[in-house]
């Protein structure tokens, strides 16, 4: 702002103040002396302000800056701290492996697979460790499972549950009635051991081994001296072995896989020495006493 304008404003302000003072209302009541003193003091103050403004205008400087009014003291307000919410730690989602529908099994050791639920049935395959197969049935005892043959997918067989680790639902596995246990084939082998005598009688000693699946209970030996055309017959419900005149051993039967010695003595011995003669011996073994049940015969030839 220019000094000229500033002086004009100051003069206008001074005139306004003086006029306001001249037009103050008066009353007939006599004011006490202090009122006159107050008016005089106000006029003196106005004159001082005008002089100050005039001096400032003459000098070309700004009017003195009045000190700012006192500011109210700041009031300390207690602001509550925010409540911290604990951070939630997310637990990783567990992905569940779906259980296959049906019943399955694997084995802890290689297991035979048979035509039926039991050792009496022939082996037709085997389930290896680490291989899983579906269970199609079970036997009434729950000890064998019916599966597709691991060695031939076109056929089926039974595995023992002892080494099995089941997986899935076995409640719905049907119970299969297995085929009848196959009739084991009978069999035996016979070998000539030598001649023995209890003077004046002579007999032959033999070794018999049961190679079949049945138990032999009775025996018949027909020995024929082809040189003299003489025959003897030995029938017994046990298996006796003699050494000379002494009974060496007697067995009531011959179980599968078992061996025993026999001699055609009491009855069946010869009353002469057949040494050097051509002998034919026919053996018949039966599964019941008295040559009953299933019987099987074999014939051997030898020269004592």
Residue 195 and residue 276 in one domain: yes
- Is residue 298 one of the residues assigned to a domain? yes
**Over the stretch 257-302, which tens digit does the pLDDT of each residue have?**
999 999 999 889 999 999 999 999 999 999 999 999 999 999 999 9
Output 66 or 144, whichever has higher pLDDT.
144
Cβ atoms of 288 and 218 within 8 Å: the answer is yes
Sign of torsion over alpha carbons 231, 236, 242, 247? negative
Residue 163 and residue 196 in one domain: no
Residue 135 and residue 206 in one domain: no
Which parts of 128-278 are beta strand (E)? 133-138, 144-148, 156-160, 164-168, 188-198, 201-210, 218-225, 230-236, 239-243, 246-251, 259-263
Residue 207 and residue 262 in one domain: yes
Q: How confident is the model at residue 29 (pLDDT cuts 50, 70, 90)?
A: very low
Quote the pLDDT of residue 255. Answer: 93
Length of the chain measured in residues: 304
Quote the pLDDT of residue 28. Answer: 47
Quote the pLDDT of residue 205. Answer: 96
Write the CB contacts of 34 (distance below 8 Å, at least 6 apart in sequence): none
What 3-state DSSP class applies to 298?
A: strand
What 3-state DSSP class applies to 220?
A: strand
Work out how many domains the chain is built from and give that number.
2
Per-range mean pLDDT, top range of 77-91, 151-165, 173-187: 151-165
Provide the whole-model pTM: 0.45
- Is residue 15 one of the residues assigned to a domain? no
By mean pLDDT, which of 19-23, 55-59, 223-227, 270-274 is the weakest? 55-59
State the pairing for strand pair 144-148/133-138. Answer: antiparallel
Quote the pLDDT of residue 185. Answer: 82
Quote the pLDDT of residue 145. Answer: 95
Residue 266 and residue 219 in one domain: yes
Residue 231 and residue 284 in one domain: yes
Quote the pLDDT of residue 303. Answer: 97
Quote the pLDDT of residue 240. Answer: 93
Which DSSP letter does residue 171 get?
T
Residue 127 and residue 212 in one domain: no
pLDDT higher than threshold 50 for residue 172: yes
pLDDT higher than threshold 70 for residue 10: no
- Is residue 89 one of the residues assigned to a domain? no
d(CA 40, CA 46): 10
**Over the stretch 39-91, which tens digit does the pLDDT of each residue have?**
555 555 555 555 555 454 445 545 455 555 555 555 555 556 556 566 656 56
Output 247 or 51, whichever has higher pLDDT.
247
- Is residue 275 one of the residues assigned to a domain? yes
- Is residue 293 one of the residues assigned to a domain? yes
- Is residue 287 one of the residues assigned to a domain? yes
- Is residue 57 one of the residues assigned to a domain? no
- Is residue 207 one of the residues assigned to a domain? yes
Residue 148 and residue 219 in one domain: no
Q: The domain spanning residue 270 has which CATH number? A: 2.60.40
Quote the pLDDT of residue 8. Answer: 64
User: Three-state SS across 4-30?
Assistant: HHHHHHHHHHHHHHHHHHHCCCCCCCC
Residue 120 and residue 157 in one domain: yes
Quote the pLDDT of residue 184. Answer: 73
pLDDT higher than threshold 80 for residue 13: no
Output 44 or 224, whichever has higher pLDDT.
224
Cβ atoms of 260 and 240 within 8 Å: the answer is no
pLDDT higher than threshold 80 for residue 110: yes
Domain range for 243 is: 188-302
Segment 227-255 shows an average pLDDT of 93
Residue 143 and residue 196 in one domain: no
Residue 274 and residue 229 in one domain: yes
d(CA 186, CA 252): 18
Quote the pLDDT of residue 291. Answer: 95
Cβ atoms of 165 and 129 within 8 Å: the answer is no
Output 99 or 11, whichever has higher pLDDT.
11
What is the percent of the chain where pLDDT is above 90?
52
Cβ atoms of 245 and 198 within 8 Å: the answer is yes
Cβ atoms of 239 and 262 within 8 Å: the answer is yes
Residue 146 and residue 231 in one domain: no
Closest CA to 135 of 108, 161, 105: 105
- Tell me the average pLDDT of the chain: 80
Q: Kindly report the CA angle at 274 between 272 and 275, in degrees rounded to 5?
A: 130
């Amino acid at each position: 702002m220019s000094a000229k304008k500033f002086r004009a404003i100051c003069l206008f302000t001074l005139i306004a103040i003086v006029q306001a003072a001249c037009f103050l209302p008066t009353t007939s009541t006599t004011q006490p002396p202090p009122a006159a003193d107050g008016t005089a003091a106000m006029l003196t103050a106005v004159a001082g302000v005008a002089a100050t403004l005039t001096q400032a205008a003459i000098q070309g400087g700004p009017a003195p800056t009045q000190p700012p009014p006192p500011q109210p003291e700041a009031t300390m307000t207690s602001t509550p701290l925010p409540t911290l919410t604990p951070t939630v730690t997310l637990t990783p989602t567990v992905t569940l492996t779906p259980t296959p529908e049906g019943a399955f099994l694997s084995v802890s050791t290689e297991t035979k697979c048979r035509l039926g639920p039991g050792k009496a049935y022939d082996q037709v395959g085997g389930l290896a460790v680490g291989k899983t197969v579906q269970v199609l049935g079970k036997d009434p005892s729950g000890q064998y499972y019916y599966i597709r043959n691991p060695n031939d997918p076109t056929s089926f067989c039974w595995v023992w549950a002892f080494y099995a680790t089941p997986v899935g639902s076995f409640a719905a596995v049907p119970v299969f009635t297995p085929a009848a246990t196959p009739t084991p084939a009978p069999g035996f082998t016979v070998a000539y051991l030598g001649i023995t005598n209890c003077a004046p009688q002579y007999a032959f000693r033999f070794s018999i081994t049961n190679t079949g699946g049945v138990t032999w209970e009775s025996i018949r030996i027909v020995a024929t001296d082809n040189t003299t055309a003489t025959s003897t017959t030995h029938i017994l419900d046990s298996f006796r072995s003699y050494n000379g005149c002494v009974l060496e051993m007697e067995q009531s039967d011959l179980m599968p896989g078992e061996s025993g010695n026999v001699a055609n003595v009491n009855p069946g011995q010869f009353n002469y020495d057949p040494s050097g003669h051509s002998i034919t011996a026919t053996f018949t073994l039966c599964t019941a006493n008295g040559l009953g049940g299933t019987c099987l015969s074999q014939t051997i030839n030898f020269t004592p």
